[in-house]
Amino acid sequence: MSRVWLYSLTIIIGLWVSATAAGGILPDNLAEWPVNIWCWTVFGLIYRNTDRKERIEMLTVLAFATPMELFFSEVWNIYEYQRGLMPLFVPAGHYFLFDLGRILARTFTANLALPILLPFVPMVAYGVYAGTDTSAVILLILVLAFTKFGPQPRLYAAMAWVALAMEILGTQLGNWTWDNEVPWTGLTARNPPLLVGAFYCLGDLLVNTTVVRFEEKASVGVYE
């Protein structure tokens, strides 16, 4: 099975099992555990069988994603998980999403990275006009800046769409819910925010710059 299918099925089925307790088969307090076990088993097998460079990437994603998730959900409170605390499968899932975005980014050239983001512009404009997603302007600027000036423009463009698809699935199933009023800012947001990929782009940029310090021969991100 290719990694695209592995990651996609893991995310889709895993979120469904966690949100619905496998359609009511499992007790609610055990709903996350099959997903936890599966995700960390997959993560561990990939780690065992890959090279040093990807192992550094995997550990770096965990090192950044875990505290960022806890800050966003427990301190800033911009979203809340279905059962309170962040599920244990989430940090591993961040690597799956990162690697999935990287794989999909190989399917288009760097000169298409910015044009791929253009459909977001009228949607952001509407959200601002309607007052339902005023934070989208800031997030759009961030995504465009990452894509224009960051070291991996294809990755950031791909993550904007991949992250949105995953977030739509997770919010529709009820795995987590974004607050429509962004704390500390006076801004509004959709559930999920249209440009939620900005947070993932930030994480990817941090991973990129950190891993390069450990592995100077080649940069992390999209490689042919």
Phi first, then psi, for residue 151 (nearest 5°) are -75, -15
Residue 12 makes CB contacts below 8 A (sequence gap 6+) with 169
Q: Where are the domains of the chain?
A: 52-214
What are the b/e assignments for 119-144, b being 16+ CB within 10 Å?
A: ebeeebeebbeeeebbbbebbbebbb
For the segment 161-173, the average pLDDT, to the nearest whole number, is 98
Q: Residue 43, Cβ neighbours under 10 Å: how many?
A: 20
Q: What is the pLDDT of residues 31-59, one digit of tens each?
A: 999 999 999 999 999 999 999 989 999 99
The pTM (predicted TM-score) of the whole model is 0.93
Nearest to 91 by CA among 107, 110, 73: 73
Is the predicted pLDDT of residue 169 greater than 60, yes or no? yes
Q: What is the pLDDT of residues 86-107, one digit of tens each?
A: 999 999 999 999 999 999 999 9
Alpha carbon separation from 12 to 7, 33, 76, 152, 202 (Å, rounded): 9, 16, 27, 26, 24
Residue 68 makes CB contacts below 8 A (sequence gap 6+) with 199, 203
Alpha carbon separation from 95 to 39, 59, 116, 182 (Å, rounded): 10, 9, 23, 26
Calculate what percentage of the chain has a pLDDT beyond 90. 91
